A and B are shown apart, each in its own frame.
Chain A
Amino acid sequence: MKLELGYIKISDIQLSNESKVENGVLYVNPEDIINLIKEDENIATVAVDVARPGESVRITPVKDVIEPRVKVEGPGSIFPGVIGKVNRVGEGRTHVLKGAAVVTTGRIVGFQEGIIDMSGEGAKYTPFSQTMNLVVTCEPVDGLRPHEHEKAIRFAGLKTAVFLGELGRNVEPDEVETFETLNVKEGIEKYPNLPRVAYVQMLQSQGLMHDTYVYGVDAKRTLSTIIMPTEVMDGAILSGNCVSSCDKNTTYHHLNNPVIADLFKAHGKTLNFAGMIITNENVYLADKERSSDWAAKLCQYLGVDGAIVSQEGFGNPDTDLIMNAKKIETVGVKTVIITDEYAGRDGKSQSLADADPLANAVVTGGNANMVIHLPKMDKVIGHINFVDTIAGGFDGSLHEDGTIEAELQIITGATNELGFNKLSAR
């Protein structure tokens, strides 16, 4: 299966009276976005802002971050089974508005969270301080129940991203990159001497604000299965979660999964990227046992030599992570796991909620309990008054002068467990 990604480099976003992409600038007519989102009767108000790298802007609470993409050749469309029809994606050609992102915010759903600072100390930790962000603030109608509220905001972001992606359909990309996954037999024949490596992606599926969707299916109702890495690039996996946002994968992360990218880079040189397995992180023990059994079984069936396992979240999913590592090692497949740590503000506590000697190769995205100090920002998009109660915040986190003292876990994507960042810990 072969997919070309055409990158249209976006250097700025401008609000305008016409939505278009021209000379690397994404022009957006706010009315287009407002009308689109208000098709959903559950959304009462919509506001559109732009946040650029280096500006004194804070976005909070962040629901999702999404990269605009459009399918220009091949079957299916972006976000299959959700926005697009359920047809299989991952082949042909897709255009990407590289450097642009849609960020959704609005009133809280339970503990909805995440901060993106476009400058200052916080900007160092979130990758979305480096993207041109079209920020959509959505407020629900009164009385909307939490699950419907979450869905409404999730769809608002996805629809906006698809609308913007469509503007790049007929634009000539600045750069084209090709990704191809051979079938098992072809791969072995082509690279007989290279070690075969699978990628096992664990998907957050603990419930409201901790959900992931695959072709529109709630991941907690799935069995571990095989997916093509190029399907992921077309939006086959998307985020419904944002709680403890430091180590949750936004939809942007899924579309740009760095493990997939770096395995493709090594593919044909030092290893053979043999395939990708997705497995969930449900809260019930029986589900954990079943899903990790199946992840190990699929690794064994593919006959790979190694598997890179990425976690999403912490605490409860640490048990899924260790089960996966242990069981995959036990069937004779070597593992490297990617996680992050909750070692306490002083760094002295044990970092994971579970451990096993077989998990002897660990990459860490850093200690999320580390305390950081964020300066006041001139402009806040969203609602600043949730800072004390969101994960990473505590009573008194938000100071009167607009500065914030909180744990790193308050920052969207700060300790990402796909290995998206350079932050680590020792």
Chain B
Amino acid sequence: MGKIKVVHYVNQFFAGIGGEEKADQTPFKQDGTMPIGAQIEKAMQAINADVEIVGTVVCGDSYFNENLETAKAAVLDMIKSYEPDLFIAGPAFNAGRYGVACGTITTEVQEVLGIPVLTGMYKENPGADMYKNKVYVVPTKDSAAGARDAIKKMAPLAVKLATGAEIEASCVDNYMPNGIRKNFFETKRGSERAVEMMIKKLAGKEFVTEFPMPDFDRVDPNPAVKDMAHARVALVTSGGVVPKGNPDHIESSSASKYGEYSIAEFDDLTSETHETAHGGYDPVYCNQDSDRVLPVDVMREFEKAGRIGKLHEYFYTTTGNGTAVLNAVAFAKEFSQKLVAAGVDAVVLTST
């Protein structure tokens, strides 16, 4: 790889034009670096000599935020003109409009130009929450007094991004957690970390959880079905019931697919006809009689007795064991449409 060309974005203040009174500065570009860019360049060169900030694009914070579309387009054109390999914006510290501008423009450059991008700001800068899951955002102190520290963190990550090196976990490569969990090796084993965390927690000192609790997507139940006697009811399971032999090779854990199978011919599932693919529970009882997980026998009795209208011809099945929630959501989005299209009124969803 030849010289790594970098374009840097700063606001009016870091371009040396002025403070708030110059925040309406329209976008312009200048070859080479501004002072803070020179420091970033120097820090990157200390890691990889073949890096150069070829141009700096400047825009006033008010102008950018008040003329978002035109400013974005103008700034993007200027960046593009340098044909950079990497784009860096900021760091913005705790300057709110600057942070939002840095987040907006890095996201735009990443999407439109398809090159790696990086910015930095204080964790409470509104731009952080808006963009940390979209682009790499390095956490900085809340004022420019923290520039040296910010550059020390940004430069190595910038070089990694520019050279296509694998980006490691957020705490290793110093970016804000971005919703993508990555494995890495700590210096101490987990039990020792737990004891240390406990001592801090007991002493009322600050501690950092290794996994912040997520906000759960809770689904409210639909209103009750009023007329079950005429309802078409389908069976869906995450208990891994499949036709004997698991024809679609649904995984025993971490399912990447679901199955759709007809039960039109069955009044009762037996060890001859069905089994479970699920590796997360004792499979013996389900393999003996899969009605225990997918109650076809009882549903047929209900159907005959007129307690439900009709048992839907197909059932949908996957393995819940270790399956990523996003996979499960994708499966359900797809087969829910099929259920709706088939006129299904209600679903009995069994888990294990």
Contact string against A for B residues 299-337, beta-carbon threshold 8 Å, 1 for contact and 0 otherwise: 000000000000000000000111111110000000000
Q: State in angstroms the CA–CA spacing of A259 and B187 once bound together.
A: 16
Contact across chains for B198 and A347 when beta carbons are under 8 A apart: no
The reply to whether A147 and B284 contact each other, CB–CB distance below 8 Å, is yes
User: In this complex, which of A113, A147, A270 has the most chain B Cβ atoms within 10 angstroms of its Cβ?
Assistant: A270
Complex alpha-carbon distance, A359 and B213, angstroms: 7
Q: Are A111 and B279 in contact (CB under 8 A)?
A: yes
Check B289 for interface membership: any CB of A closer than 8 A: no
Tell me the nearest residue of chain B to A354, going by C-beta.
B216
- Given contact pairs A365-B190, A421-B189, enumerate 15 new A-B contacts (beta carbons under 8 Å): A197-B202, A207-B282, A258-B192, A263-B195, A266-B195, A266-B199, A308-B195, A334-B198, A343-B181, A343-B324, A347-B181, A360-B213, A363-B210, A419-B189, A426-B172
15 contacts between A and B (CB under 8 A): A263-B195, A339-B211, A341-B211, A346-B326, A360-B213, A362-B209, A363-B197, A364-B210, A364-B211, A390-B279, A391-B279, A407-B322, A424-B193, A425-B210, A426-B169
Question: Would you call B322 and A409 a contact (CB within 8 A)?
Answer: yes
Please give the residue numbers on chain B whose beta carbons come within 8 Å of chain A beta carbons, in ascending order: 169-172, 177, 179-195, 197-199, 201-203, 207, 209-214, 216, 249, 251-254, 256, 279-284, 320-327, 352
Contact residues in A for B182 (Cβ distance below 8 Å) = 347, 367, 425-426
Which A residue's beta carbon lies closest to that of B249? A395
A425 engages B183 (CB within 8 Å): yes
Compute how far the CA of A390 lies from the CA of B249 in the bound complex, rounded to whole angstroms: 12
Instruction: Decide: B184 and A315 in contact? CB cutoff 8 A.
Output: no
Asked whether A41 is an interface residue with its Cβ less than 8 Å from the other chain, the reply is: no
Q: Which residues of A does B touch, CB under 8 Å?
A: 110-111, 113, 146-147, 195, 197, 206-210, 243-244, 258-259, 261-263, 265-266, 270-271, 283, 305-306, 308, 310, 314-316, 334, 336, 338-339, 341-352, 355-357, 359-370, 388-395, 407-409, 416-426
> When chains A and B are docked, how far (Å) is the Cα of A79 from the Cα of B180?
42
Question: Are B188's CB and A208's CB within 8 A?
Answer: no
A266-B199, A426-B182 in contact; A394/B326 too (CB < 8 A)?
no
Q: Are A369 and B210 neighbours in the complex by a CB distance under 8 Å? A: no
**A195 near B254 (CB under 8 angstroms)?**
no
Q: Which of B190, B207, B280, B324 contacts A391 (CB 8 A)?
A: B280
The residues of B that contact A209 with a CB separation of less than 8 Å are 282
CB contacts (< 8 Å) of A147 on chain B: these are 284
Could you tell me if A361 and B279 are in contact, using CB atoms closer than 8 angstroms? no
Please determine whether B194 and A419 come into contact, CB atoms closer than 8 angstroms: yes
Interface majority SS (helix, strand, loop, mixed), chain B? loop
Residues of B within 8 A of A270 (CB): 199
Q: Closest residue to B202 on the A side, CB-wise?
A: A195
**CA–CA, A388 and B252, complex, Å:** 9
Q: Are A423 and B201 in contact, CB atoms less than 8 angstroms apart?
A: no
**Could you say which residues of chain B place their CB within 8 Å of the CB of A417?**
190
B324 pairs with A345, CB closer than 8 A: yes
Q: How far is the CA of A316 from the CA of B323 in the complex (A)?
A: 12
Q: Is there contact, CB below 8 Å, between A207 and B322?
A: no
B257 to chain A, nearest CB (A): 9
- Bound state CA distance, A388 and B189, in angstroms? 31
- A258 near B251: Cβ-Cβ < 8 Å: no
User: A206-B281, A208-B282 in contact; A355/B201 too (CB < 8 A)?
Assistant: no
Question: Ordered nearest first, which 9 A-B pairs have the shortest CB separation?
Answer: A419-B190, A344-B324, A207-B282, A419-B191, A391-B253, A208-B282, A258-B191, A111-B279, A349-B324
Complexed CA–CA distance, A388 and B171 (Å): 34
Give every chain B residue within 8 A of A418 (Cβ-Cβ). Answer: 190-191
In Å, the complex CA distance between A41 and B85 comes to 69
List the A residue with the shortest CB-CB distance to B321: A315
Inter-chain contact B190/A424, CB cutoff 8 Å: yes
Q: Are A391 and B198 in contact (CB under 8 A)?
A: no
When A244-B321, A391-B252, A426-B170 are in contact, do A111 and B199 touch as well, CB less than 8 Å? no
Contact B190 A416 (CB under 8 A): yes
A408–B194 alpha-carbon span in the complex (Å): 22
Task: Please give the distance in Å from A355's CB to the nearest CB on chain B.
Answer: 4
Task: Indicate which residue in B194, B214, B254, B280 contacts A351 across the interface (CB closer than 8 Å).
Answer: B214
With A and B bound together, what is the CA distance between A19 and B139 in angstroms?
Answer: 60
A70 to B82, CA, bound (A): 72
Contact of B322 among A348, A365, A366, A369 (CB under 8 A): A369
Kindly state the separation between the CA atoms of A338 and B322 in the bound complex, as whole angstroms. Answer: 17
User: What chain B residues lie within 8 Å of A206 (beta carbons)?
Assistant: 280-282
Let me know if B254 and A424 touch, CB within 8 A.
no
CB neighbours (8 Å) of B279 from chain A are 110-111, 113, 243-244, 390-391
Pair B322/A315 contact, Cβ less than 8 Å = yes
